Chain A
Amino acid sequence: MYRYTDFDAAFVAERNAQFRAQVERRIDGSLTEDEFKPLRLMNGLYLQLHAYMLRVAIPYGTLNSAQMRQLAYIAERWDKGYGHFTTRQNIQFNWPTLRDVPDMLDALAKVQMHAIQTSGNTIRNVTADHFAGAAADEIADPRPVAELIRQWSTDHPEFQFLPRKFKIAVTGSPNDRVVTKAHDIGLRMVRNDAGEPGFEVIVGGGLGRTPMIGKVVRDFLPEADLLPYLEAVVSVWNLLGRRDNKYKSRIKITVHEHGIDDIRARVEERFALLRPAFTGVDQQLFAQIKADFAPPAFSDRDVAPFDQAYANDPVFRSWADTNLSAHRAPGHAIAQISLKAHGATPGDATAEQMRVMADLAERYGHDELRISHEQNVVLPHVHKADLPAIHSALKAAGLATANIGKISDIIACPGMDYCALATARSIPIAQEIAIRFDQLKLEHEVGDLKIKISGCINACGHHHVGHIGILGLDRAGVENYQITLGGDHTETAAIGQRTGPGFSADEIVPAIERIVDTYLSERDNADEAFIDTFARVGMTPFKTALYGESDKKQKAA
Chain B
Amino acid sequence: MPAIFTPKVITANALLEGDVVYLAQNDTWTRDLKDADVLTDEADAQIRLIDASTRTSEVVGVYLADVSPDAKGPKPTHFRETFRMRGPSNYPHGKQSEAL
**Chain B positions within 8 Å of A51 at CB level:** 17-19, 94
Judge whether B19 and A50 touch: CB under 8 Å: yes
Judge whether A417 and B60 touch: CB under 8 Å: no
Q: How many residues of A contact B (CB 8 A)?
A: 30
Report B37 CB to chain A, min CB distance, Å. 22
Judge whether B79 and A427 touch: CB under 8 Å: no
Judge whether B88 and A27 touch: CB under 8 Å: no
- In the complex, A416→B76 CA distance in Å? 15
Please tell me if B20 contacts chain A, counting CB pairs below 8 Å.
yes
Judge whether B16 and A99 touch: CB under 8 Å: yes
- In the complex, A51→B9 CA distance in Å? 20
Judge whether B84 and A29 touch: CB under 8 Å: no
**Chain A positions within 8 Å of B18 at CB level:** 47-48, 50-52, 96-98
Please tell me if A62 contacts chain B, counting CB pairs below 8 Å.
no
Q: How many A-B residue pairs have CB under 8 A?
A: 72
Main DSSP-derived SS at the B contact region? loop
Report B100 CB to chain A, min CB distance, Å. 15
CB nearest neighbor in B for A412: B90
Judge whether B57 and A29 touch: CB under 8 Å: yes
For A33, give its contact among B16, B20, B60, B91 (CB under 8 Å): B60
Judge whether B87 and A50 touch: CB under 8 Å: yes
- In the complex, A94→B91 CA distance in Å? 12
Residues A335-361 near B (CB distance < 8 A): 345
**Chain B positions within 8 Å of A418 at CB level:** 88
- In the complex, A97→B62 CA distance in Å? 18
- In the complex, A350→B15 CA distance in Å? 27
**Chain B positions within 8 Å of A33 at CB level:** 15, 56, 60-61
- In the complex, A418→B90 CA distance in Å? 10
Residues A358-407 near B (CB distance < 8 A): none
Please tell me if A80 contacts chain B, counting CB pairs below 8 Å.
yes
Judge whether A50 and B84 touch: CB under 8 Å: yes
Report B20 CB to chain A, min CB distance, Å. 6
- In the complex, A428→B89 CA distance in Å? 7
Judge whether A431 and B90 touch: CB under 8 Å: yes
Given contacts A50-B19, A417-B88, 11 further A-B contacts (CB under 8 A): A33-B56, A49-B80, A51-B17, A416-B83, A417-B83, A417-B89, A417-B90, A427-B90, A428-B89, A474-B79, A478-B79
